[in-house]
Amino acid sequence: MRLSQFFEQTPVQHVQNYWNSRPCNIRHSTKPVGSREYFDEVEARKHFVEPHIPGFAEFDRWQGKKVLEIGSGIGTAMINFARSGAQVTAVDLSDKSLELAKQRAQVYGLEDQISFYQANAEELSQYVPIDTYDLVYSFGVIHHTPHPERVIDQIRQYVKPGSTVKIMVYYRYSWKVLWILLTYGKGQFWRLNELVATYSEAQEGCPVTYIYSKPEAKALLNGFEIVDMQVDHIFPYYIPDYKQYKYTKEWYFRWMPQPLFRWLEQHFGWHLCITARVPE
């Protein structure tokens, strides 16, 4: 059986249970969960470790615009869109993540600018009223759902000619995939998809993690005009230290000249960041 078939058959409930058991980035701060200091630190750590995000999201560009975020998690991008003056619709499958995202909106006094929906994005229109958005944003989400193409089909109902769609999916030809294959798989490339799903996230055992080549990502976004496609992000830190909130690089990255590290990130990074437009 092809593993994609295995992913396709995964009940979405398993995906929800996984993200409820540990919402994404929930341990990015040691401050009391839900406090202002906590959310400040979560954001600081996220943008320290993934510094390409603000450039990709272009938060300021959406001032006064309507943004639909699919898979908003605990709301780091969501709060930045709202802070920049966008009207945001935040959707996530995980009610635990949404609970924190709602708290976050309250903490910063931005709740009037954000509507929340707990929904499976594969069936978005059953939960979120159809409307047209200037931006549909989804960072690190679509590859975790059993049928990514269904999410893209749903997105088509929420855009108009000229709308922008920004999506990040994991990149197949990446350092991280190679690292997982060598570290956990002892080179068993025929188990690649299973290994990637097991080890792709901070918590082992993610039920669904697809990886995409550039042509596969283009095919997924069939009908959208691809404006930009960038590979970025290698996590360079030694994980045991990182869990202690210390940022010690792995020895091989410590000695690598920064321009070489950037070159590696831009060619073999883990994030395939795609900006697309709905043709006029």
Ligand X SMILES: C[S@@+](CC[C@H](N)C(=O)[O-])C[C@H]1O[C@@H](n2cnc3c(N)ncnc32)[C@H](O)[C@@H]1O
Q: How many CB atoms lie within 10 A of CB 21?
A: 11
122 is a contact residue toward ligand X (CB under 6 A): yes
DSSP 8-state assignment for residue 24: T
The tokens of 239 are what? Answer: 């994980």
CA distance 242 to 256: 19
Least Cα distance to 102 among 130, 72, 65, 133 occurs for: 72
* CA count, 13 A, side-chain hemisphere, 263: 5
80 is a contact residue toward ligand X (CB under 6 A): no
Part of the chain binding ligand X (CB under 6 A), chosen from 87-95, 174-182, 216-224, 235-243: 87-95
Site for ligand X in 211-270 (CB under 6 A): none
- Residue pointed to by tokens 């708290």: 103
CA distance 70 to 86: 15
Q: Do strands 133-139 and 225-232 pair parallel, antiparallel, or not at all (unpaired)?
A: unpaired
140 is a contact residue toward ligand X (CB under 6 A): yes
**φ/ψ (deg, to 5) at 103:** -60, -40
97 is a contact residue toward ligand X (CB under 6 A): yes
CA distance 244 to 241: 5
| Minimum CB–partner distance for residue 203 and ligand X (Å) | 10
User: Do you know the residue count of the chain?
Assistant: 280
| Minimum CB–partner distance for residue 245 and ligand X (Å) | 18
89 is a contact residue toward ligand X (CB under 6 A): no
148 is a contact residue toward ligand X (CB under 6 A): no
The one-letter code for the residue type at 88 is V
Nearer to ligand X (CB atom), residue 25 or residue 113: 25
Part of the chain binding ligand X (CB under 6 A), chosen from 31-39, 59-67, 135-143, 213-221: 135-143
Nearer to ligand X (CB atom), residue 99 or residue 256: 99
The one-letter code for the residue type at 276 is A
DSSP 8-state assignment for residue 248: P
| Minimum CB–partner distance for residue 141 and ligand X (Å) | 4
25 is a contact residue toward ligand X (CB under 6 A): yes
120, 154, 209, 230: which one contacts ligand X (CB under 6 A)?
A: 120
Nearer to ligand X (CB atom), residue 21 or residue 188: 21
166 is a contact residue toward ligand X (CB under 6 A): no
- Secondary structure of residue 60 in the 3-state scheme: helix
76 is a contact residue toward ligand X (CB under 6 A): yes
CA distance 273 to 228: 8
121 is a contact residue toward ligand X (CB under 6 A): yes
139 is a contact residue toward ligand X (CB under 6 A): yes
26 is a contact residue toward ligand X (CB under 6 A): no
| Minimum CB–partner distance for residue 76 and ligand X (Å) | 5
Point out which residues bind ligand X (CB under 6 A). 12, 15, 19, 24-25, 71-73, 76, 91-94, 97, 120-122, 139-141, 144-145
